Chains A and B, each alone.
Chain A
Amino acid sequence: MDKILESIPGKYRWFDAVHVAGRSTPLSFRNNRLHSLSESENSGFGIRINRDGHTGFSYTNDPQRKSGAVERAYSMAPYGDPENFSLPADTILDFEPYDPAIDSFSVKDEIDAAEKFISDMKSIFPEISIDMGISASSGVMRLLNSEGIDLSYRDSYYSVSASCVLVMDNGVRIDTWEGKSDLRPVEYSEFKEILTEKIKRAQIQEKIATGLYPVILPPQAFSRLAGIIASGLNGISVWKGVSPFAGKIGEKLFSDKFTLADDPLIEGSPYRIPFDAEGVNVSRKELVSGGVIQKFITDLKYAERLGTEPSGNASRGYSSLPSPSFTGVTVDPGSSSFKEMIAGIERGIVAEQFIGLGQSNTLTGDFSASLDLAFLIENGEIKGRVKDCMMSGNIIDLLKGEVYFSSERERRGSVVMPYAMFHGVSITA
């Protein structure tokens, strides 16, 4: 702190700085075998300084040149937009997104577990090719500001992913994966069953004609489309007037079954945070309740611009300015189970994976993507795979119409999602 103060070349209104440091140990398996083991150790420092209401920013990851970054940030400040918010002084640190069990990460044990998983899968599918990534990391995030805040917290992160490729005799490629993340090393024995079922099913080819069908999106797939909604709830796109939800607080835009919350405190999520990257305290907030738009996420800058209270959604690495983003998103569950949803469908699709989703004009909620992995539902049962077709629609319209959410939910990375079922989604074959 004193060193930063000393390096600031002149008068200032406020400053804040982040220092991040971390170590990680990623293992990589490629084509069914251990390919590489890595060790990574990195740190970085970023500072923004407000002079006369204008903010400058700079960063470095050269441990010996922090004062250079401070000087650069100071000299850049006159170029910045006017910003008149002040920094928090009441930041509370009441937990760390850290589990000491991260230290129990054993490279040898992980290799053994991964080799076992691969050999189990090979015994079912002799031609399968599996890539895996397993990583444990831990680090420290330190935030300090001119209001006297100087807080540090540790974080820990474990992740495992397995990606399976099976090329069939007729050239058809089945490419599917599972992954999970946690604060500490966890088992992933369920991957075997989930992937086996998907691959077995994918070997049977079904046909579907162009038309409108009921479509079920499992949590992972639904989170991709829910992400389009979430980006419209970001204070940046609202301020810029490109969010379809700008100016619509209090309006009912979706089915009353749809409730989406920003939740930086999801239990077990390695993405949870005690306070945001500007030191604003965080809490769970419903952004859409029962289909009605409630609020948008902001950092200090966009809260000032939009004339609201900061929502505690500032996010930043050391090399970037803070900006509003999500550390956790949840969608409320519904009443029927996934099984019951399936049972009610005469002819429809379960869409697991897409190619090219997000390359449409997502600002308006439009999407159009090739079905990378999708299954036919016929007379209440999941059948084989449908492929070489595209799914198109508008997620805002779909969530406005007849939609159902499952009673069960899954955490996928930083999101907790149910299965979502839509009626009448356009399929082009």
Chain B
Amino acid sequence: MNDRFSEAAEKGRKLLESAGCEFAEIRFSSGVGTTISLSGDNVDSMTSGESLAGSVRVLKKGSWGFATFNDITSIERFFNSALTAASIASPEEKSRVAASKPLIAQFRTEPVEDVNGISLDEKFELIKNYNKILQSSPKIQTTKAIYRDVNSRYLYMNSEGSNLAYDKMHCGISLTSVAKDGNIIQPFHESVSGYGGYEIVRGRENLAEKVVKIAVDMLSAEPLEGGTYDVVLDPRLSGVFIHEAFGHLSEADFIHENPRMKEQMTLGREFGPEGFNVIDDGSISGLAGYIPFDDEGIYPQKTYLIKDGILTGRLHSRETAEKMGEAVTGNGRAIGVMRQPIVRMTNTYIDNGTHTRDEIFNSLDDGLYAVDVIGGQTNLEMFTFTAGYGYKIKNGKPGKMFRDVILSGNVFNTLKSISMIADDREMFGGLGGCGKGGQSPLPVSYGGPHLLVKNVLIGGRK
């Protein structure tokens, strides 16, 4: 296997040297993974499989050609397919890319406990144990407990002479309990994952206990009435909020060829209150959105998207950076070798403010504490995201629990409604990820401190 991989890489390098086009890149990956999926008393699946992938992307006369394949030994043929595809049309308006100096480096995940040293039996016992905890209330109808690890080798090389390799180890669990009482069914879910080894998933009994407790508690929670609320977001929701309500808007491929969007996203525009800072940083190792280099061979960096409430930056691929005359940021990402890189977030967060969590709660006579997350979506003007659950706040204290807390707002206005920012930021990211342009899930992380947002629209029946 490794021989064929090195052989293909060698051939690839030669092809790139004489590519005869503006830009060309070759990506290869090979991976071996184990997935164990348990549900209730059943083993849904237990799989160990391997996958191989290759792609060639070329920019010739302003047009992109892309070829994907799993037979990496035929790299020459696919390199030519990509060149041919790019030559079919010669568009008037041409794509260009920002150049980079050649990068030559090797990266590897340094696990505390290599997953390859752990027997299948042990992995099976671990997830079985978590699954048992997930079932630990008589009100639990069913569960889903998933363990996954992947070892992969990724090679990136391009016509600028870059040669990058990344030996990656990724490991995580996803835990769900579904509680049932009569006609009421309440699922709750938590997931943790990261680049590293078995240490990521060991000792997570607390997480499983939390999942089962909340699923059961939610059975007696009432649905929240629709209306407008002052809402305190917990750090996880604060992260999803910034991802959905603003992060996507800062992806330059939504902006670079749309004059109206460019106007709306003029750097210097006021987006939020003073002291409000939003950052994307793919270089934080350990977090789910970590990348040693992006899928266009650019190193990641810490990019301030909003500084002190003012729009100061955006996320770029090589193409959008060139088009807008701005610097690359290392955000050209693909969910796998078989997909083309597009502008994506990495680890995105709201930085700490100056208030404490208690100060925020004490400032509210009547409000809502929204906790945890089910999901979120945006159309770049409006967004919605669903909290796991929430509590009404009365006189600064969280009270009764509610379910079905679905928040919605306008991306340009809502950030201005942030009125207090706490100093307790946390980061999150599980086995899932972000979806865009049909590419899902892309590993990202998100986070922030507790936030108070005024006048948030919440859906629900009256």
**How far apart are the CA atoms of A79 and B68 in the complex, in Å?**
35
B162: CB under 8 A from chain A? no
Query: Are B142 and A167 in contact, CB atoms less than 8 angstroms apart?
Result: no
**How far apart are the CA atoms of A391 and B459 in the complex, in Å?**
7
- Smallest CB-CB separation from B223: which chain A residue? A366
Of the candidates B49, B85, B91, B461, the one whose C-beta lies within 8 Å of that of A426 is: B461
**How far apart are the CA atoms of A72 and B46 in the complex, in Å?**
11
Query: Are B43 and A80 in contact, CB atoms less than 8 angstroms apart?
Result: yes
- Shortest B125–chain A CB gap in Å is 11
Contacts of B53 in A (CB 8 A): 61
**How far apart are the CA atoms of A321 and B53 in the complex, in Å?**
21
Contacts of A366 in B (CB 8 A): 223, 404
Of the candidates B51, B256, B383, the one whose C-beta lies within 8 Å of that of A355 is: B383
Please judge, given known A-B contacts A172-B381, A366-B404, A368-B460, whether A36 and B63 are in contact too, CB under 8 Å. yes
- Smallest CB-CB separation from A169: which chain B residue? B260
Query: Are B384 and A41 in contact, CB atoms less than 8 angstroms apart?
Result: no
Query: Are B63 and A34 in contact, CB atoms less than 8 angstroms apart?
Result: yes
Query: Are B142 and A388 in contact, CB atoms less than 8 angstroms apart?
Result: no
- Shortest A161–chain B CB gap in Å is 10
- Shortest A414–chain B CB gap in Å is 17
Contacts of A428 in B (CB 8 A): 226-227, 457-460, 462
Give the A-B contact count at a CB cut-off of 8 A. 251
**How far apart are the CA atoms of A42 and B71 in the complex, in Å?**
8
Query: Are A370 and B46 in contact, CB atoms less than 8 angstroms apart?
Result: no
Contacts of A30 in B (CB 8 A): 253, 257
Query: Are A171 and B68 in contact, CB atoms less than 8 angstroms apart?
Result: no
Contacts of B48 in A (CB 8 A): 58, 72, 76
Contacts of A56 in B (CB 8 A): 46
- Smallest CB-CB separation from B226: which chain A residue? A428
Contacts of B187 in A (CB 8 A): 242, 361, 363
**How far apart are the CA atoms of A361 and B215 in the complex, in Å?**
12
**How far apart are the CA atoms of A359 and B410 in the complex, in Å?**
18
A319: CB under 8 A from chain B? yes
For A30, A44, A46, the residue with the greatest tally of chain B CB atoms inside 10 Å of its CB is A30
B447: CB under 8 A from chain A? no
- Shortest B322–chain A CB gap in Å is 14
Query: Are A37 and B88 in contact, CB atoms less than 8 angstroms apart?
Result: yes
Query: Are B68 and A38 in contact, CB atoms less than 8 angstroms apart?
Result: yes
For B46, B82, B264, B383, the residue with the greatest tally of chain A CB atoms inside 10 Å of its CB is B46
B420: CB under 8 A from chain A? no
Of the candidates B36, B88, B382, the one whose C-beta lies within 8 Å of that of A372 is: B382
A60: CB under 8 A from chain B? yes
Binds B, one of A62-70, A261-269, A399-407: A62-70
Query: Are A37 and B385 in contact, CB atoms less than 8 angstroms apart?
Result: no
Considering the complex of A and B, which 7 residue pairs feature the smallest CB-CB distances, nearest first? A390-B459, A356-B384, A36-B64, A428-B226, A31-B257, A167-B260, A173-B381
Which residues does A use to contact B, with CB under 8 Å? Answer: 30-44, 46, 56-65, 68-69, 72, 76, 79-81, 107-108, 111, 127, 129, 165, 167-169, 171-173, 175, 210, 240-242, 244, 319-321, 355-356, 358-361, 363-364, 366, 368-370, 372, 387-393, 426, 428
13 A-B residue pairs with CB within 8 Å = A60-B50, A62-B1, A65-B1, A79-B36, A107-B89, A173-B381, A355-B383, A356-B377, A356-B386, A356-B408, A359-B376, A364-B184, A392-B459
| 12 new A-B contacts at CB < 8 Å, known A35-B95, A76-B46 | A38-B85, A41-B71, A46-B49, A62-B30, A79-B120, A111-B88, A167-B261, A168-B260, A240-B141, A364-B185, A389-B457, A428-B462
